[in-house]
Amino acid sequence: MKILLFLLISAKLAAAQFVPLELHTFAAFYPVAIDPTGKFLAAATWQQGPLVVKEFGGGEQVLEQKGDAFELAWSHDGRYLTSISTSHRVRVWDVRHKRCLLTAVTTAQYAPRVANDRLAIVDGSEIDLVSLMGGKITNKLRIPEGRQVKMLTDCGSYLFVMLGARGPDGPQLAKIGAAKGDLTLLASPPGSFGGISEEDTGTWTYIALPPLPKVGNDTEKYFADANKLEASVWELDPALCRISMLGKVKPYDSRPLGMLDGQTLAYVGTDANGGVRVILKSFKTGHEETLLEWPRPDGFLKGAVSRRTKTIVLSQKGSLLLWRPR
């Protein structure tokens, strides 16, 4: 309760649109994920504590299991939830039957994905496809040289991969056939890798960064110049292999939470003093609205957006906040 009061006092809320969300009494939640239907919210801790899945609106709690997690991801059909711990241990949960189907270890920094009853696990320079039924590797895919997997998503019988580059090259979109295990490179969004979020509709929102200013060791001038720049926002539809530019945002150091609809982005912007703002940007009108502002947040801010229900859930310092449009 003290943490929640501190959070509400230290953050400036826009017209009291964010409200505390009660999910579990004891855990300090960190990662959150909304299922593709917008019906369930999953949350966990990245220290030892419970993984909880509950219906929105104070409904039934459908799953509670022990085990830490620093990232969560739902499958495209909402049947499976994957979690990854700080020790890179992956678990696949059958939410409907409240049981863990598979446990594995990965070198990735994000929750792997399930498609066509196969789990895609990054193992160094390869992606292993593991059967949920027997736990055996059915296919091994080589990652193109010089690339690293940044994001996975599933769409029916396909997996889609965002490959980041170690050098100045931009990211590369690739498609994996979950049945055959073949990998096909697709079109690439422009610009250096800034941040990416996944929508419950299966699309991604990607922020491409412009070249950074060169000001030597003058940190103050660096942030001042950087915050004059604008980052471009792109929507990637892996299923249609379509990439389209939505518009631009600033300040420079920003990352997307997700699209509330086809024209409105929720994103987090960080200023030179470490302050954080949660912003709504309409690409149709150009209008920006600050929903929430933390001068100096204590800890990292995580969030999830449901386009279907137009809901934002934020997790910070062990508390959850829920936002819906008025």
Q: List, for residues 79-91, the tens digit of each pLDDT value.
A: 899 988 888 889 9
Among 77-81, 115-119, 280-284, 316-320, where is mean pLDDT lowest?
A: 316-320
223-237 confidence digits (pLDDT tens): 777 778 888 898 888
Q: What is the mean pLDDT of residues 156-167?
A: 75
Looking at per-residue pLDDT, the higher value among 168 and 302 belongs to 302
| 130 touches 118 (CB < 8 A) | yes
| 153 touches 202 (CB < 8 A) | yes
Residue 281: its pLDDT value, please?
A: 92
What's the CA gap between 248 and 233, in Å, rounded? 6
Length of the chain: 326
Beta strand 126-131 pairing with 192-198: unpaired
Name the 3-class secondary structure at 325.
coil
Name the 3-class secondary structure at 146.
coil
Tell me which residue has tokens 């990232």.
71
| Residue 156 CB partners (closer than 8 Å, separation 6+) | 76, 115, 116
* Top-confidence range, 3-7, 142-146, 193-197, 309-313: 309-313
Among 2-6, 48-52, 103-107, 192-196, where is mean pLDDT lowest?
A: 2-6
What's the CA gap between 91 and 198, in Å, rounded? 20
Residue 285: its pLDDT value, please?
A: 93
What's the CA gap between 160 and 153, in Å, rounded? 5
Q: 238: which 2 tokens?
A: 């892996």
81-135 confidence digits (pLDDT tens): 998 888 888 999 998 888 889 888 887 777 888 887 888 888 778 888 888 888 8
Integer CA distances (angstroms), 106 to 54, 66, 110, 122, 181, in order: 27, 20, 9, 6, 18
Residue 168: its pLDDT value, please?
A: 57
Overall number of domains in the chain: 1
Among 154-158, 207-211, 288-292, 300-304, where is mean pLDDT lowest?
A: 154-158
Percent of the chain with pLDDT over 70: 83
DSSP letter assigned to residue 9: H
Q: Residue type at 96?
A: R
Is the pTM value of this prediction over 0.75? yes
What's the CA gap between 160 and 52, in Å, rounded? 27
Q: What is the mean pLDDT of residues 173-201?
A: 78
Looking at per-residue pLDDT, the higher value among 217 and 268 belongs to 268
What's the CA gap between 307 and 314, in Å, rounded? 15
What's the CA gap between 210 and 218, in Å, rounded? 19
Among 94-98, 175-179, 264-268, where is mean pLDDT lowest?
A: 175-179
Percent of the chain with pLDDT over 90: 5
Q: What is the mean pLDDT of residues 10-23?
A: 54
Count of CB atoms within 10 A of residue 115's CB?
A: 25
What's the CA gap between 108 and 165, in Å, rounded? 15
What's the CA gap between 128 and 142, in Å, rounded? 9
**CATH number, domain at 144?**
2.130.10.10
Among 2-16, 19-33, 226-240, where is mean pLDDT lowest?
A: 2-16
Residue 72 has pLDDT above 70, yes or no: yes
Host H or E run for residue 264: strand 264-270
237-248 confidence digits (pLDDT tens): 877 777 888 999
Residue 175 has pLDDT above 50, yes or no: yes
Residue 17 has pLDDT above 50, yes or no: yes
185 phi and psi angles, rounded to 5 deg = -80, 135
Domain that holds residue 250: 2-323
- CA-nearest of 276, 203, 266 to 240 is 203
Residue 114: its pLDDT value, please?
A: 85
| Residue 307 CB partners (closer than 8 Å, separation 6+) | 199, 200, 201, 258, 259, 260, 261
Residue 38 has pLDDT above 50, yes or no: yes
Q: What is the mean pLDDT of residues 202-218?
A: 78
Average per-residue pLDDT for the chain:
78
